[in-house]
Amino acid sequence: MAISRRKFLKITSGAIGGGVAAEIGILNVDTAAAAAKAGKAPIKSGRQVASICPYCAVGCGQIVTVSDAGEIVDIQGNPDSPINQGTLCPKGAATYQLVKNEQRWSTVKYRAPGSDRWEERPLEWAMSRIAELTKKTRDANFNEFQDLPDGKGGTVRKRVMNTYAIASLGGATMDNEWNYLHQKLMHALGVVYLENQARI
């Protein structure tokens, strides 16, 4: 940013045109210094990680910047992406606030039957309890066979290997990998009320 006073003044007076000189430094002070200082602005920087916008299905590329301390400090459009070329919509541009948000919960909350409050619980405990409930509900409500209409007004006994007591409803902003694992597990358990935002 080595810029001489003369040059700076020339630039500014050029830009100002017919106007009155904007400021006067007294005691022969170099006005360029202030400009130069303002110009030496620090910029957010760090490791850049390629990501995809979590909102709609256009699939805009994002770049997540991570500080040396491992904190996400910035999320913006990926200029390489042929889809968005660095641009984002307001939701995509707000992704940083989705990640770094005071209101985001990062602990397990539990509400006992009939209770009027949330309680914090360890993750391990919750996983064990959920597995237990899943097994209990499935085992108590599993159908190996079911009588189904035969299309001629009667019924026919069919092997169905399912349970109607457990349902799963998933969002569509979760990875392909999750979708695969989840359908796999649900099918293994016999869950047929398996639905996703993707229907609508």
Partner 1 sequence: MAKGMFIDTTICTGCKSCQVACKQWNGLAAEPAHFGKRSGVPYPVADNFTGDSYDNTGSLSATDWRHVRFIEQIDEQRREKRWLFSSDSCKHCSDAGCLNACPTKAIVRTDLGNVVVQQETCIGCKFCIPSCPYGVISFSEETGTVHKCTLCNDRIHNGLGTACAKACPTGSIRFGEVPDLRRRADARLAQLKGKGEKAQIYGYEEADGLKVFYLFTDRPGVYGQPEQPVVPQRRLVLCSLVTILTALGIGVAALVNFRERLNGKEEHHES
Partner 2 sequence: MGSNMAECHPVAFRWPLKARTDHDAVLMHVDPRFTRTSAACNLHVPIRAGSDIAFLGALIKFVINSKRWNEDPFFREYVVNYTNAATLVNPEFRDTEELDGVFSGLAPDGKSYANATWSYQRNQAPPKAKGGVGPFSDLLLQQVPGRPKTDPTLQDPNCVLQIVRKHYARYTPDLVEKVCGCSAEQFLKVAQTMLDNSGRDKTANITYAVGWTQHTVGVQIIRAAAMLQALLGNIGRPGGGVLALRGHATIQGSTDIATLYHSLPAYLNMPDGRKKHDSLKEFILTEAGPLATSYWGNYPKFAVSYLKAQFGAAATAENDYGYDYHPKITGDHSHMPMMLDMAAGKIKGFFVMGQNPAVGGQNARLQRKALAKLDWMVVRDYFETETAAFWRNSPEVLSGELKTADIKTEVFFLPAAAVAEMEGSFTNTQRLLQQHDKAADPPGDARSDSWFTYQLGKRLQKMYADSASNLDWGIKNLAWDYEPEAKEVAPWRIKDEPSAYKVLKEINGVTVADQKPLATFANLKEDGSTACGAWIYTGVIPEDGKNNAARRKPDQWISPNWGFAWPANRHIMYNRASADSQGKPWSEAKKLVFWDPDADSGTKDPAGNTVRGKWVAPSGEGIDFQPTKAPTMVGKDAALGFDWLSGNDAFIMRADGKAWLFAPAGLVDGPLPTHYEPYESPVANRVYRQQSNPVAKVWRTEGNVYHGVADPKYPIVVSTYRVTEHHLSGTMSRWLPWLAELMPELFCEVSPELAAEKGIRNAGYVTIVTARGEIEARALVTRRIKPFVIDGKKVHEIGLPWHWGWQGNAKGDVANDLSAMVGDPNVSIHEGKVFTCDIRAGRKGGRS
Partner 3 sequence: MSPDNVQVPEWAWYYIAVYFFVAGTSAGAYFIGAMEELFSSAKEREVSRAACYVAFPLLLLVPIPLIADLGRPGRFWHLFIYNQGGYPYLNLQSPMSVGSWVLLVFGGCTLLSFLDNLVADRVISFPLFSRYYNRIPRKLYALVGSLAGFFIAGYTGVLLNVTARPFWAATSPLMGALFLVSGASTGAAAISLYLIWRQRNAGEEVARLESFDRALMISELLLIAVLLVLAGHTAQLLVTLPFLVMFWLGAVALGIAAPLWFKYRSRRQHFGGAPHLAHYLCILAGGLLLRISLLQAGQL
Task: Considering only residues 162 through 191, tell me which ones interact with partner 3, judged by CB under 8 A.
Answer: none
Q: Which residues contact 121 (CB under 8 A, 6 or more apart)?
A: 108, 109, 110
Task: Produce one character per residue of 4-36: b if its CB has 16 or more CB atoms within 10 Å, e if not.
Answer: eeeebeeebeeeeeeeeeeeeeeeeeebbeeee
Which stretch, 7-15, 22-30, 35-43, 44-52, contacts partner 2 (CB under 8 A)? 44-52
In what side-by-side order are the strands of the sheet with 47-52?
Answer: 47-52, 61-66, 72-77
For residue 45, the minimal CB distance to partner 2 (Å) is: 14
What lies within 8 Å, CB to CB, of 35 at 6+ separation is: 3, 8
CB nearer to partner 2: pick between 9 and 178: 178
Of the candidate spans 90-98, 121-129, 151-159, 178-186, the one that interacts with partner 1 by CB under 8 A turns out to be: 90-98
Task: Answer for the pair 123, 108: CB distance below 8 angstroms, yes or no.
Answer: yes
Name the binder of 76 from partner 2, partner 3, partner 1, none, CB < 5-8 A by kind. Answer: partner 1
Interface residue with partner 1 among 54, 72, 96, 192 (CB under 8 A) is: 96
Stretch that binds partner 2, among 2-10, 19-27, 37-45, 56-64 (CB under 8 A): 56-64
- The residue (of 2 and 123) whose beta carbon lies closer to partner 2 is 123
**Of the listed pieces 24-32, 126-134, 166-174, 186-194, which binds partner 3 according to CB under 8 A?**
24-32
Residue 192's binding partner out of partner 1, partner 3, partner 2, none, with CB under 5 to 8 Å set by partner kind: partner 2
Long-range Cβ contacts of 155-162 (<8 Å, 24+ apart): 161/190, 162/190, 162/191, 162/192
Q: Are 56 and 73 in contact (CB under 8 A)?
A: no
Residue 146's H or E segment, with its range, is strand 142-149
- Are the C-beta atoms of residues 109 and 120 closer than 8 Å to each other? yes
Residue 30 CB, shortest distance to partner 3, in Å, is: 8
Closer by beta carbon to partner 1, 31 or else 134: 31
Q: Does 155 bind partner 2 (CB under 8 A)?
A: no
What is the distance of C-alpha 32 from the center of its chain? 44
**Which residues here bind partner 1, judged by CB under 8 A?**
1, 3, 8, 11-12, 15-20, 22-23, 32, 34-36, 38-44, 74-77, 79, 84, 86-94, 96-97, 102-103
